[in-house]
Amino acid sequence: MRGEPTWRLPVGILALLACLLIYALAVAWASDWISLLPVWVQTIVYLILGVIWLLPLRNFLIWMETGRWGEPPA
């Protein structure tokens, strides 16, 4: 059970929102080039781009809770 709240939670939420906004803007910017691809390739690209942002999320959430990057304490 956690004690007092830390600065990592509000800072982490703001950082997460800022990073997601930047990522979404980058994907929107790249959509001009992605739209030139065949539809089946576009589908694969957008599926990959829609999932890839989740890769660092677990470690980031662990850091927000514990202050350590990576595996949570046992």
- Is the distance from CB of 34 to CB of 45 less than 8 angstroms? yes
- Of 5-9, 14-18, 48-52, least confident by mean pLDDT is 5-9
Q: Residues 13-28: what's their mean pLDDT?
A: 94
pLDDT for the residue 60: 86
C-alpha span between 10 and 2 (Å, rounded): 15
Q: pLDDT digit string (tens) for 22-63?
A: 999 999 999 999 999 999 999 999 999 999 988 888 888 888
Q: What is the reported pTM?
A: 0.76
pLDDT for the residue 2: 59
Question: Token pair of 41, please?
Answer: 């390739």
Q: Going along 3-47, which residue ranges are E strands?
A: none
What's the chain's average pLDDT?
A: 87
